[in-house]
Structure 1
Amino acid sequence: MLTTIAGFDRIGEENAFTVLARANALAAEGRDVINLGIGQPDFRTPDHIVDAAVKALRDGQHGYTAANGIPALREAVAADVHRRLDIEVSPELVIIVPGGKITMFSAILMFGEPGVDILYPDPGFPIYRSMIEFTGARPVPIPIREENDFAFSAEETLGLLTPQTRLIILNSPANPTGGVTPKAEIDKLVAGLAERPDIAILSDEIYGQMTYDGLPHVSLLSYPEIRDRLILLDGWSKTYAMTGWRMGWAIWPPALYDKMRKLAVNAWSCVNSAAQFAGLAALTGPQDSVGAMVAEFDRRRAIVVEGLNKLPGVSCITPKGAFYAFPNVSEAGFKAKDLASRLLEEEGVAIIGGPDFGVLGEGYVRVSYANSAENIERALARMADFLTRNHNTAAAE
């Protein structure tokens, strides 16, 4: 009888893909399904990026590349960081990876082991906790609260540190809440972490170019006092509508960079060659598509927030980043996952129950506005019909 090591019994998953599979199955049966569940832009990858990949293939870019990425692409990442954030980064600290998850997987694997504490946001991206538990480390949730506009509290976060803390994971702009932590709070956290130089920091900034109302993105790269232990996660998936290309990049501190490069050699050899040339075109080519996409998300954000706040038993604060709303459904008469399931099965509206993002996700659902304004309005109408019919009679489990 086959047995596996204990870590594989602890590994979780990202339920957004389970909901996506069910939504696709219903659509295949002829149902009209509106997907507000999956976190991917509904835009096409810009043509000049696609053309660059096609050209690379036709030019014979079919072989292995360096494990850390082609030099021109690492240089382009460093130049892009300087252009957007006015922060100097050496290309020699940039590594190209097959998707953003690889960076979090690698960082958690590098620091996680039994007897170690790793802090992560809750509600937050579910792979954080899954991978922490896989390594045998103790997952310590950082509460992300609605009353704090879904930003983390520096004081509360620092209060969770123990002598066993080895890694802290931060995410702003955040999935699933759309929260953006203000600079003043980040300043306080960094000041507190200055007293713990033994703690590594993973900053997930994959939504860094998606903030609204003139709110600037504050990157942890801008704090020199933690650069020697900061791992920055970013990539092309959200910014350039390239989720299926599996393209990510990370900046690692000098002490950890070669460890990460060796892990790449052992695990995936290198990133798809032609895709790297697509990534190069994305960073060095016109950026107007990024601004246009974010402007459209902003327009949809207003539609989503207004519509959700009109639903019986639902309230929604305005998200400040990413392309998610995280409405409070605690007065709607359903547990969050039950509400999400029934909306999909009965109304053909796919959303994600808050508990899929952590213990503190109960009472909330995630609504992605990475879908057309027309589909969002249709989905809101269906949700209104469902809740109007059921709000007064449904009992919470």
Structure 2
Amino acid sequence: MESFINTNVKNIEISGIRKFFNLVSGESDIVSLTIGQPDFYTPDHVKEAGKTAIDQNRTTYTHNAGMLPLREAISSFVSEKYGLQYDPKHEIIATVGASQAIDITFRTILSPGDEVILPGPVYPGYEPLIRLAGATPVFADTRNHDFKATADVLESYITDRTKCIVLPYPSNPTGVTLTKEELQEIAELIQGKSIFLLADEIYAELTYEKPHVSIGSFPAVREQTIIIQGLSKSHSMTGWRIGYVLASENIAKHLLKVHQYNVSCPSSISQYAALEALTEGKSDATFMREEYKRRRDFVYQELVDMGLETVMPDGAFYLFPKFPVGDSSSFDLGLDLVKKAGLALVPGDAFSPLGQGYMRISYAYDMETLKEGMKRLRKYL
């Protein structure tokens, strides 16, 4: 019966990140800097809100878009933090993590034959969803531009088939983000074109030197922009699976249809925890952000001292150094690192072919682990 499986499904593969993680898991004496998951616990007051929801039997379906108090809290949060104005009744949908928000967005806006521009190297979760929707991913090479998909980079990839441009900043795997001026130039380029802007801003609360700026704050492209955020990284709530999508009403009403038939609504318990996080825990990310910055500075300096070409990240918790791999692949280098150094990093080619020759290092680990990892990498080199 396998031959009757949807061809689009058969042609996609498991994420290269997970594939490599699974390959090295179980190995003895391995320092792993692979997974992009906060190493902090969910704040206690948020956990208590979830427990209270259970004890008070708040375990029923909610509105498909999420309970209104949560959507109002989201509206207030993004207004205060990023200057974004979205109507909680008609322009906000609470989702099962940011991943589901991305899925319903692509399934809503894409048709067979459409093209989606992705800034490569890029998180591998977009390409399979684009292909499942029958569209084609187009990787814009950002390697000579500090991994930034600026307007001049994007312009050369736009065709009459371009339906969407993904702006995943701060970036996984590079950690870079776009400045207000760079976003302004993109807004001027896209304004009036029949092109959606999908802004994946899941790391918006984890920026260091400057606060996050959203493309959705530019009136010229608000009606073309779909913003995705969530609580997984900002409040260390990866397992609670709460994200949200912001879009103008004429887009959101169609997103909601796909969302409704997909999951009905997010977990009610997780929604109550998220409500607490976005109201009483608006500053919960501050401590984590400060600690990540300390770790970033340490690992970055170590890599520079080793002579590895590395772009300083603006946010998230990743570094993406370039390695002199020669004719080998990043995947082969990853295997060799595990075998000879007992160190697991994510091969750069997991982030599209444009990641060849790079390795992703997650610094969402405690300092002792990072120090040992850098020690092993230095010895290997």
2:52 pairs with 1:55: yes
**1:234–1:250 Cα contact (<8 Å) kept:** yes
CA offset at residue 206 of structure 1?
Answer: 0.6
1:352 corresponds to 2:352: no
Residues 164-203 of structure 1 aligned to structure 2 (within 5 Å): 164-196=161-193, 198-203=194-199
Tell me the equivalent position of 1:329.
323
* Deviation at residue 333 of structure 1 after TM alignment: 8.0
Amino acid in structure 1 at the alignment position of 2:149 = F
Q: CA deviation at 1:352?
A: 0.7
Q: For the residues of structure 1 that align with 2:73 and 2:326, how far apart are their CA atoms?
A: 48
Unaligned ranges ≥5, structure 1: 388-397
Alpha-carbon contact 1:76-1:284 (below 8 Å) kept:
yes
Cα distance in structure 2, aligned partners of 1:62 and 1:244? 17
Question: Which residue in 2 is equivalent to 1:13?
Answer: 14
Distance 2:320 2:60 in 1: 43
Q: 1:114 aligns with which of 108, 112, 134?
A: 112
Would you say 1:224 and 2:219 are equivalent positions? yes
Distance 1:11 1:325 in 2: 26
- Do the aligned partners of 1:13 and 1:126 also contact (CA within 8 Å) in 2? no
Distance 1:97 1:86 in 2: 22
Contact 1:120 1:170 in 2 (8 A): yes
Of residues 115-124 and 345-354 in structure 1, the stretch that sits farther from structure 2 once superposed is 345-354
Candidates 37, 40, 46, aligned match of 2:37: 40
Whole-angstrom CA distance in 1 between matches of 2:142 and 2:205: 21
Which amino acid letter does the alignment assign opposite residue 55 of structure 1?
Answer: T
Asked whether 1:308 is paired with 2:308, we answer no
Q: 1:352–1:191: structure 2 CA closer, same or farther, 3 Å change rule?
A: same
Q: Structure 1 residue 302: deviation in Å? A: 0.9
Given the superposition, is the C-alpha separation of residues 289 and 317 from structure 1 closer, same or farther in structure 2, using an over 3 Å criterion?
same
Q: CA RMSD in A?
A: 1.6
Q: In the alignment, what sits opposite 1:338?
A: 332
The whole-number CA distance in structure 1 between the counterparts of 2:367 and 2:328 is: 26
1:151-300 equivalence runs, <5 A: 151-196=148-193, 198-213=194-209, 215-300=210-295
Aligned to 2:76: 79
Contact kept in structure 1, 2:73 and 2:278, CA below 8 Å: yes
How many residue pairs match? The answer is 379
Shift of the alpha carbon at 1:88?
2.1
Which deviations, in whole Å up to 9, do the C-alpha atoms of 1:49-107 show, x marking residues without a partner? 11100010000011111111011100000000111123322112110001111111112
Question: Is residue 13–residue 127 contact of structure 1 (8 Å, CA) maintained in 2?
Answer: no
Instruction: Give the structure-1-normalised TM-score.
Output: 0.91
**Mind listing any 5+ residue stretches in structure 2 that lack a counterpart?**
none
Q: Give the Cα separation in 1 of the matches to 2:139 and 2:326.
A: 26
Residue by residue over 1:345-371, the C-alpha shift from the partner in whole angstroms, topping out at 9 and shown as x without a partner, is 443322111111011101111000000
Deviations 1:197-236 (A, max 9, x none): x1111101111111122x2311011111211121100000
Following the alignment from structure 1 to structure 2, what is the Cα–Cα distance between the partners of residues 44 and 216? Answer: 24
Q: Which moved more, 1:106-115 or 1:38-47?
A: 106-115
AA paired with 2:223? D
Instruction: Tell me, in whole angstroms, the C-alpha distance in 1 between the residues paired with 2:326 and 2:160.
Output: 42
- The residue that corresponds to 1:391 in the other structure is none
Which of 128, 131, 139 is equivalent to 1:130?
128
CA drift of 1:264 comes to 1.9
Q: How far apart are the structure 2 equivalents of 1:113 and 1:11?
A: 18
Question: Identity, % of aligned pairs?
Answer: 32
Deviations 1:13-39 (A, max 9, x none): 32222233334322xxxx233221111
- What secondary structure, in the 3-state scheme, does the structure 1 residue paired with 2:25 have? helix
Work out the CA distance in 2 between the residues paired with 1:180 and 1:348.
31
What is the TM-score normalised by the length of structure 2?
0.95
Task: Report the Cα distance in structure 2 between the residues aligned to 1:107 and 1:330, rounded to whole angstroms.
Answer: 38
Deviations 1:143-178 (A, max 9, x none): 222x42221121120221111111111111111001
Write the letter of the residue equivalent to 1:189.
I
Cα displacement (A) at 1:334: 4.7
Secondary structure of 2:147's counterpart equals coil
Q: Which piece of structure 1 moves more, 154-163 or 54-63?
A: 154-163
Separation (CA, whole Å) in 1 of partners of 2:146 and 2:380: 28
Matching residue of 1:105: 103
2:372 corresponds to:
378
**Aligned residue type for 1:159:** S
2:141 aligns to what? Answer: 143
Matched to 1:16, the amino acid is I
